[in-house]
Amino acid sequence: MMISEKMIKLAQNNSAIRAMFEEGKRLAALYGRENVFDFSLGNPNFPAPQALKTALLDILNGEDSVYVHGYMSNAGYESVRSAVADALNKKHGTAFTLDNIIMSVGAAGALNVVLKTLLSPGDEVIVLKPYFVDYGNYVANYDGVLVPVLTDPATFQPDAEKIAAAVTPKTKVLLLNSPNNPTGVIYTEESIRKVAAVLEARQKEYGTSIFIVSDEPYRELAYDGCEVPYLTKYYRNTIVCYSWSKSLSLPGERIGYLAIPSECDDYKLVFDGAGIATRICGFINAPSLMQLAVARCLGETTDITPYDENRKLLYKGLTDCGFTCVFPQGAFYMWMKTPVDDKEFMNAAKKHNILVVPGASFGCAGYVRIAYCTAKSTIARALPAFKKLAQEYGLC
């Protein structure tokens, strides 16, 4: 075999997803881009805040090129790490310093760095169904074993009892994501406390360290003033993976950070290990100009009003047709129950020029994910098509 055995399988799986994108292109060519309702991708359709542009221009015009574009410590500029720590402390009452922050190539980079740092082959990583599809690939990168555990089927909150039953002496990580992709659910303080209690008990029982790795690209996208609990305050062995992709609408720039609290087990080994992992995984460091820019935008977030309007419009439209959806509290995804098999539904939706992702891609059949980070007009024009689809299944 000419390429890696692992990659052969991945290439085959990938083709299914690619086929959907190709289908989108085909439909757009046939019916016009504006008549294709593409809800498949989590790509923010809104510009970055003006403050980001101002920061970038000020840095380029005011700072030394060697400083702006040069190497720094693999963990990132010390000034940037300090600024991030200060901002977190102000917001969440934590006590971080620069020695708790490692700048990363987005949250995906941060997750890979953490898993590279923590996992030995065979170590188990619990994820909560439904979960972001690439978690499985990230865990496989380090020969970890993915252990998917169902959330509460009514609320999609973590189910502490099911988690307790899944923890073994090999469990190294519980990988969480709240606000959640794909459900839009925010894990409550009560859920978090229960999960923390379970992990504390199991750590004691087994004499192990179990890390919560909290994937937080959607932290700032919380509606109706809903609070997103900051997990390091509830559980000592928490590592936060943050990204500005969604909060500043710059997913293409790959900029985020890891927060590793001093209180976590083997803090120094973990922190130093993550710095080394940043280097040897090939990231070297987070992009330099963008590090300096986000440090000047720590109080800024993209205006979430358009997402909020989309959320309400789409939820009302879909439920009015008779569909059953989770009313999202955060992120920009609608999780909708399908009246038939989710892949069959996806194909039926395609006939109405609607592109959605089947729940099976998130380890949870019987649902589809609808990404509403689109123009509002796309949703308005798609609703009649959703209605026809609902009628086909006798929902209205």
Residues 11-40, interacting with a second copy (CB under 8 A):
11, 14
In 10 A of CB 122, how many CB atoms?
10
Q: Using CB under 8 A, pick the residue from 46, 206, 234, 327 that binds a second copy.
A: 46
Q: Using CB under 8 A, pick the residue from 132, 138, 230, 257 that binds a second copy.
A: 138
- Extract the tokens encoding 347: 């194909």
Q: Using CB under 8 A, pick the residue from 283, 332, 333, 386 that binds a second copy.
A: 283
d(CA 143, CA 338): 34
Contacts of 102 (CB under 8 A, 6+ apart): 74, 75, 76, 81, 110, 113, 257, 258, 260, 271, 274, 275, 278
249 belongs to the binding site for a second copy (CB under 8 A): yes
Measured in Å, how far apart are the chain's first and last C-alpha atoms?
Answer: 53
The footprint of a second copy on residues 252-271 (CB under 8 A) is 252-255, 265-266, 269-270
Angle 370-6-360 from CA coordinates, rounded to 5°: 25
Distance in Å, CB of 160 to a second copy, minimum: 23
287 belongs to the binding site for a second copy (CB under 8 A): yes
233, with CB counted inside 10 A (0-12, 13-18, 19+), is middle
150 belongs to the binding site for a second copy (CB under 8 A): no
d(CA 233, CA 92): 9
Distance in Å, CB of 114 to a second copy, minimum: 10
Of residues 195, 229, 212, 250, the one with CA closest to residue 330: 229
Count residues binding a second copy (CB under 8 A): 78
95 belongs to the binding site for a second copy (CB under 8 A): no
Q: Using CB under 8 A, pick the residue from 51, 87, 197, 281 that binds a second copy.
A: 281
Q: Where does residue 346 fall: left (phi above 0), alpha (psi -120 to 50 degrees), or beta otherwise?
A: alpha
Q: Using CB under 8 A, pick the residue from 45, 89, 94, 301 that binds a second copy.
A: 45
The footprint of a second copy on residues 178-217 (CB under 8 A) is 209
Q: Using CB under 8 A, pick the residue from 78, 161, 190, 272 that binds a second copy.
A: 272
Site string for a second copy, 301-340 (x = CB under 8 A): ----------------------------------------
Smaller CB distance to a second copy: residue 68 or 164?
68
The tally of CA atoms less than 13 A away on the side-chain side of residue 30 is: 11
Site string for a second copy, 96-135 (x = CB under 8 A): ---------xx-xxxxxx--xxxxx-------------x-
Distance in Å, CB of 351 to a second copy, minimum: 26
160 belongs to the binding site for a second copy (CB under 8 A): no
In 3-state terms, what secondary structure has residue 203? helix
Fill in the DSSP letter of residue 217: T
